[in-house]
Amino acid sequence: MKTKIKVTAVLIFISLLFAFAMIAFTACGNSDEFADEQLEAGEVRVNARDGRAIVRWGDTDADGYNVYASPSLYGEYEKINDRTVTSNRFETEEYPYYYFCIKAVESGTETEIADPVSAFGDETLIVAEDDDMEAVQQHIDEKHARLESGSTGQFSDERFAIMFMPGDYSELNVKVGYYTNVMGLGKVPGDVKLGGLYVSDKVLANDNSTCTFWRGVENVAIDADTEWNNAIVVRWAVSQATSMRRVDINGDLALSTPSGWSSGGFLANSRVSGTVYSGTQQQWMSRNDEWQAWSGNSHSYVFSGCEGYIPAAGWSESGNRYTVIEETEKIAEKPFLICDGGEYSVFIPDVVSGSSGVTWTQEEAGRFISLDDFYVANPDTDDAETLNAALASGKHLLLTPGHYSLDKPVVVNEDDTVVLGMGYATLEISNFNSECAIKVGDVGGVRLANLLIDAGEYSENMVVIGETSGLSHADNPVVLSDMFLRIGGVENVHTETDTAMVIRSNDTIGDNFWIWRADHSLGVAWEDEYENGVVKNYGNPVQTGLLVSGDNVKCYALMVEHCEKYQTYWEGENGLTVMYQSETPYRVPSQDQFMSHDGTKNGYASYKVDDGVQKHRAYGLGVYLVQYGNSFDIDSAIEAPDADGIEMVHMVTCSFSASGTSTINNVINDIGGAVGSNSNFRRLVDRFPVR
């Protein structure tokens, strides 16, 4: 009997050993994705996996290492290892998203081997209320100095996210340069209070803010503290590819510099206690906002679901040019990151219909997803293969600031997947990828947000949403927030895509797009230009910016520019656009190379609704003529069927060309008259069809 008991005990002991071995093997397997990576001396890298921080560093031949951690970069660091670490690796579940400082120990003396690093990457600054604010301000100022101007910042490789833990930061003045996201980590904007925030007037000469792109701020409260035409304001003089969301401004807001001009931007789910001064802002989209007063008028301002003093709708040369829609038909606010009691999560707001005003003054409908359920990507270690593997395992993606080279598409095939970028995380289509950067299957509830996508040498598309199955996603639509696609401009190489974004999935919602065939800087020729058999200037050809074939698709703040054929082509039924902004292509070689309708019409319409579409609505559309080089004509800025199911309201064309003889001959179809250097500066059509 005793022998039997002993044998049983031994078997149990062996089973336990085997179980522990399997657990250890599994844990080792989960983290051994980095086993083959060799880091240089003085290099530290942190990755977060399933709520666990994996910290690695290059060998320094020290006796050992101590590990210090802090929730913010300039906060208090606490030693977290019980005994000296003798390897080049440390893992912890207690501090997955902290900063880690590694100190080499040699003869009892500690030496810091590198600056502290977190899983959010070295292009992210996390700030807490008790930090050294002088160091924080200096960090922000030094980064801004490099990302401030058009010459040093506009096509910089740097990316930057500033994440504020809940707290009062009234002594800070936050300067927002290119590729910068300012993010409050509270549940509501008032949880993070900033002493000031502004966009510089030194972007281009003469206070020109028409190239003030790629920057955003969200989920903070801000005190007005910048002078603007004898008023104290928050100055947000921006153009395309920018967003101001979930912001509570104490005071006034200015959308331009005092004497320069700006050209297009986006304000959503925000409150201004005072006046919004539009100044020289040429066009603007406001959605679900509140303010006390609005001052200013230009080519086209669109207000959807806004409350407070909203200017009366009007559309005339001598009066106002405002488009007012009382309720936003259907929308979901952008997902955002929060930190509550040290625990990180992402809040996913629900889709709502018939909304007006801000969402955060009452309990918000939505769901929290723990950051542990995200794959926190790092541009130094991640590519299409690792991102797809994470998605296939059921993870969401959080893309930390930096550049991700993709030799094949990132594929999203699971309902309710979230792909969220920080600090203008950039997906770069490599020259080996002829398909696209990101492809979403015919699934529901996917959220893509805050992504900058760069074209490669050639890809058929850049973003593809859905398939042509005809499935309805009305109850759980795909929502795309702050999606910015760029072809050319960064360097003098050939970049090309046929159609930049394709939306096939029914019921998709788009919220703030800029699809930009670059018109200035490098690699922006119509086609490759040769000199003595060698390419002198590379081209960035794009046929169409946005193609919509899905039904019931809605786009708010749709901006598409400079493509070589149609900017936007709508084939799907029951589409809706609220605010459209577009410039014509630059450097058209000749009229012969810019003809549509089988060569029978001059130029291509910017906004084209297919002749077979029976129902379509669009409100507040602006198409602007700009000529560099040879003259050309465009017969119609907008084309749409003359049918009872078509409703086009408030359309404008303007000529921004200082010289030349190019024209847009009509606003929509054969209605509206011409703009150009030899014609009117601006033409308006109140609505179409005319009955």
Place of tokens 């039904």: 551
Cβ(616)–Cβ(640) under 8 Å? yes
**How far is the C-alpha of 126 from the C-alpha of 276, rounded, in Å?**
30
Q: Which segments of 455-537 are extended strands (E)? A: 463-465, 479-487, 497-503, 509-517, 529-531, 534-537
Q: Which segments of 225-269 are extended strands (E)? A: 226-228, 231-235, 242-250, 252-254, 266-268
Cβ(470)–Cβ(506) under 8 Å? yes
**In 3D, which of 60, 219, 68, 73 has the Cα closest to residue 140?**
73
3-class DSSP assignment, residue 111 = strand
CA distances from 591 to 251, 376, 499, 656, 686 (A): 50, 49, 22, 19, 29
Encoded amino acid at 495, one letter: T
**How far is the C-alpha of 295 from the C-alpha of 107, rounded, in Å?**
68
Burial tier of 505 (Cβ tally within 10 Å: 0-12, 13-18, 19+): buried
Place of tokens 């969200």: 218
**How far is the C-alpha of 163 from the C-alpha of 186, rounded, in Å?**
10
Largest separation between any pair of C-alpha atoms in the chain: 109
Active-site residue flag, 583: yes
Cβ(197)–Cβ(177) under 8 Å? no
Cβ(513)–Cβ(579) under 8 Å? no
Place of tokens 């696609």: 485
Cα of first residue to Cα of last residue in the chain, in angstroms, is 101
Among 333, 573, 583, 639, the one annotated catalytic: 583
In SS3 terms, 143-203 reads as HHHHHCCCCCCCCCCCCEEEEECCEEECCCCEECCCCEEEEECCCCHHHEEECCEECCCCC
**How far is the C-alpha of 147 from the C-alpha of 154, rounded, in Å?**
7
3-class DSSP assignment, residue 207 = helix
**How far is the C-alpha of 605 from the C-alpha of 603, rounded, in Å?**
7
Q: Provide the 10 A C-beta neighbour count for residue 431.
A: 15
**How far is the C-alpha of 568 from the C-alpha of 622, rounded, in Å?**
13
On the question of a cis peptide bond just before residue 689, with omega within 30 degrees of 0, the verdict is yes
CA distances from 338 to 186, 247, 532, 620 (A): 5, 15, 57, 34
Strand partners, 581: 559, 622
Active site positions, annotated? 583
